[in-house]
Structure 1
């Protein structure tokens, strides 16, 4: 994120073609802080020790997701704090609330003194966060900017990938534990990406799917919103093209081979 030094920005907005806009207070131009450079280097070193890697393997990008790296007799592993602070979110952060994240991390690390020593975070954990400078240091530290994510799951947009910066995390994180032959992201009849999940366990014979996400331009969006307004979910029949695409690999695996006699 290296950038040429410039004057402070004016209050502005950020937006994407995916239909969201947020207000960003005026701030100095973004550039890699010493804390961020150090935490990024540490994260990549830690990822290289994981076998098998859950988030990796390399190449991975560092996500400001509140990762806490711990070490026991089996080596390094990662858990996640109560919340992660994205870089631009620090400018609306309440130092007292960010300090609660520090306190939570400090309690976790009390059980892992070796990790504290090797990561060099004793001062970070012991220093109360009371101002914007403290928030900044925490945001770019190894205790926050430290979740290794492949590009497809971090910052990519569909159809290249469903990144957490563009789609809801409860949906994007399904990719880490779903069956390989179930398609989380599928294309509706209008060519728009939607996310779906089965409504019953594997082997049940149930082919319907629940719509988890649909963009506003999708024909499924108003149906999804109506269902949510009723406190309900939107379920598509097994014959619906979206449901067929989600289960396509499973259906193909169940088909008997074509005779070539």
Structure 2
């Protein structure tokens, strides 16, 4: 007999064996939600964000020219501050998701030390894809090297990271970015619950950063697990090179 809350599989087939799962019931809530926003200056578009959006659009143009699918489908796109980790692989551009994204208004209450951990993890990921920085140089985003190497220590460096290519450029259509059901499952309303295109539900981490590991955008083709998130024992891998397949990085 199945445990309470499990999903019945007709014929006793093991989950994942191609059997059709039989949905027994649904579960939901009707409680509205609110978040508290700290007092902050009127929103404006920083030079950091302008530069990030400019290079992100060039990356998306290259993906389109190569016949590759954008991470969250076709445009027109809005750039979501959702932890966009763009890398150049041996076969073209790919976007991963950081363990947490920093919304523009959240930078004003962000802990620089925790944002710096996101920077370090992004730097580890980019180091596993050695084509990335030269490719960004060629597209005119030369500040990438400084962003990845300079520690985040104060409000100015938090702003630079928040509005950078490595946080602020998850390309989403307007419905996918901020839409609500039944028309769309916007990232801002349903994130991490399998409705926004995210790969999976991630558990909360005990370290205060939110997610247990990096989450990737929707996989393309048969490529489903270039980075699996936390390593053995729940620890996030600091050397991401050993967690990425060599053929994905362009390395021998």
Q: TM-score, normalised by structure 2?
A: 0.59
Equivalent residue for 2:104?
87
4+ runs of 1 displaced by more than 3 Å?
Answer: 174-177
Q: CA deviation at 1:90?
A: 1.2
Residue 158 in structure 1 maps to residue 181 in structure 2 = yes
Aligned equivalents of 1:49, 1:77: Cα separation in 2: 11
Equivalent residue for 2:152?
129
Question: Alpha carbons of 1:24 and 1:174: their partners in 2 closer, same or farther (altered >3 Å)?
Answer: closer
Matches within 5 A, 1:9-48: 19-48=32-61
SS in 2 for 1:68: strand
Aligned equivalents of 2:100, 2:124: Cα separation in 1: 15
**Contact between 2:185 and 2:196, CA under 8 Å: does it hold in 1?**
no
Aligned equivalents of 2:84, 2:156: Cα separation in 1: 20
Residue 64 in structure 1 maps to residue 81 in structure 2 = yes
Aligned equivalents of 2:53, 2:89: Cα separation in 1: 22
**Contact between 2:77 and 2:174, CA under 8 Å: does it hold in 1?**
yes
Aligned equivalents of 2:158, 2:35: Cα separation in 1: 20
Aligned equivalents of 1:98, 1:107: Cα separation in 2: 14
Residue 106 in structure 1 maps to residue 105 in structure 2 = no
SS in 1 for 2:36: strand
Matches within 5 A, 1:1-261: 19-50=32-63, 51-117=68-134, 118=136, 119-120=141-142, 121-174=144-197
Q: Deviations over 1:15-58 (max 9, x none)?
A: xxx82222222211101001111111221221222213331222
Aligned equivalents of 1:168, 1:104: Cα separation in 2: 21
Unaligned 5+ residue runs, structure 1? 1-17, 178-261
Larger Cα-atom Rg? 1
Which has the larger strand fraction? Answer: 1
Question: Alpha carbons of 1:78 and 1:21: their partners in 2 closer, same or farther (altered >3 Å)?
Answer: same
**Per chain length, whose mean CA-contact separation is higher, i.e. which structure has more relative contact order (CA < 8 Å, sep 6+)?**
2
Unaligned 5+ residue runs, structure 2? 1-30, 201-252
- How many pairs align? 161
Q: CA deviation at 1:175?
A: 8.0
Question: Alpha carbons of 1:168 and 1:114: their partners in 2 closer, same or farther (altered >3 Å)?
Answer: closer
Aligned equivalents of 2:114, 2:197: Cα separation in 1: 28
**Contact between 1:47 and 1:57, CA under 8 Å: does it hold in 2?**
no
Aligned equivalents of 1:26, 1:175: Cα separation in 2: 30
Q: Deviations over 1:160-201 (max 9, x none)?
A: 312111223323235889xxxxxxxxxxxxxxxxxxxxxxxx
